[in-house]
Amino acid sequence: MTIADPLVEIAAALEPYGLVPRGVFVFGAGDDAPRLSTGVSARSVVLIGHFGSSIWPYFTRWRRAHPDVDDPLDAWSKAVLTRVADAVEGQAVFPSDKPYLPFQQWAMRGEGLSASPLGLLIHPEYGLWQAFRGALLFDRVIDFPSIARDNHPCDSCAEKPCLSACPVDAFDGKNFAVGRCRSYLAEPQGRVCLDGGCLARLACPVGREHAYMPDQQRFHMAAFARS
């Protein structure tokens, strides 16, 4: 078996759902590796996510069959990744699990991503139009070269339109005024973001062609407004 074989198997199991393996790394001696249900510490983590709207047709089909589920995207992610984990002899974990696991740090380490001025991780090709839905933990080494990115896409963006596009100036490059954003979304004029997507996110020029489908953007904005 070659080093790549486990990832090939994982990728094949994820493909029917529009998901892909993303960052991969092996926990080192100084890492606070999470414990598996068997009681042993995890040796490897494979982050699972998507680019653009690749998951959307599969999720919407599932959602039509499960119309009364709370937090449907999280429920779908758990249903899918738990099934995939069983198939590849791993253990699925999720950003909503408590105690919370450091998914953002894992993504930065495993895929070489950095934070944008909006606080979201930015990908050099897909920009802000990508996400992580969970991760698979393994009690064995799944080795894969870490991805080192030489340049942060925001470094060459002098104007940073993402910071000036928000109608209520909720972003300052360091902090996000969550309450101000939610208050605006609850007002009639907030429909421009609630229906059309976050204007700050849409202003980013990186990966604009991979922007989420309109109904996907509306779904995420409505979920944020309710949370």
Asked if residue 184 is part of any domain, the answer here is yes
Per-residue pLDDT, averaged over 144-149, amounts to: 69
Q: Are residues 10 and 106 in the same domain?
A: yes
Q: Are residues 74 and 108 in the same domain?
A: yes
* Residue with more model confidence, 147 or 74: 74
Asked if residue 33 is part of any domain, the answer here is yes
Q: Are residues 132 and 211 in the same domain?
A: no
pLDDT digits (tens, 9 = 90+) for 94-119: 999 999 999 999 999 988 899 999 99
Q: Are residues 17 and 117 in the same domain?
A: yes
Q: Are residues 133 and 165 in the same domain?
A: no
Q: Are residues 92 and 178 in the same domain?
A: no
With cut-offs at 50, 70 and 90, classify the pLDDT of residue 146. low
Q: Are residues 69 and 176 in the same domain?
A: no
Final residue of a domain: which of 69, 104, 138? 138
Q: Please tell me the predicted confidence (pLDDT) of residue 1.
A: 36
Report which of 81, 110, 122 is spatially closest to residue 204, judged by C-alpha positions. 122
Q: Is the pLDDT of residue 60 over 50?
A: yes
Give helix 56-65 / helix 72-88 axis angle, nearest 10°: 110
Asked if residue 146 is part of any domain, the answer here is no
Asked if residue 151 is part of any domain, the answer here is no
Contact 75, 82 (CB under 8 A): no
pLDDT digits (tens, 9 = 90+) for 211-227: 999 999 999 999 999 98
Asked if residue 63 is part of any domain, the answer here is yes
Q: Is the pLDDT of residue 3 over 70?
A: no
Q: Are residues 92 and 165 in the same domain?
A: no
Asked if residue 27 is part of any domain, the answer here is yes
Per-residue pLDDT, averaged over 140-163, amounts to: 84
Average pLDDT across the chain, whole number: 93
Per-residue pLDDT, averaged over 168-176, amounts to: 95
Q: For the whole model, what pTM was predicted? A: 0.92
Q: Are residues 89 and 49 in the same domain?
A: yes
How many distinct structural domains can be found in the chain? 2
The phi, psi pair for 57, rounded to 5°, reads -60, -35
Asked if residue 156 is part of any domain, the answer here is no
Q: Are residues 26 and 112 in the same domain?
A: yes
Q: Are residues 26 and 92 in the same domain?
A: yes
Q: Are residues 75 and 125 in the same domain?
A: yes
Task: Please give the residue range of the domain that contains residue 96.
Answer: 5-138
Q: Please tell me the predicted confidence (pLDDT) of residue 152.
A: 86
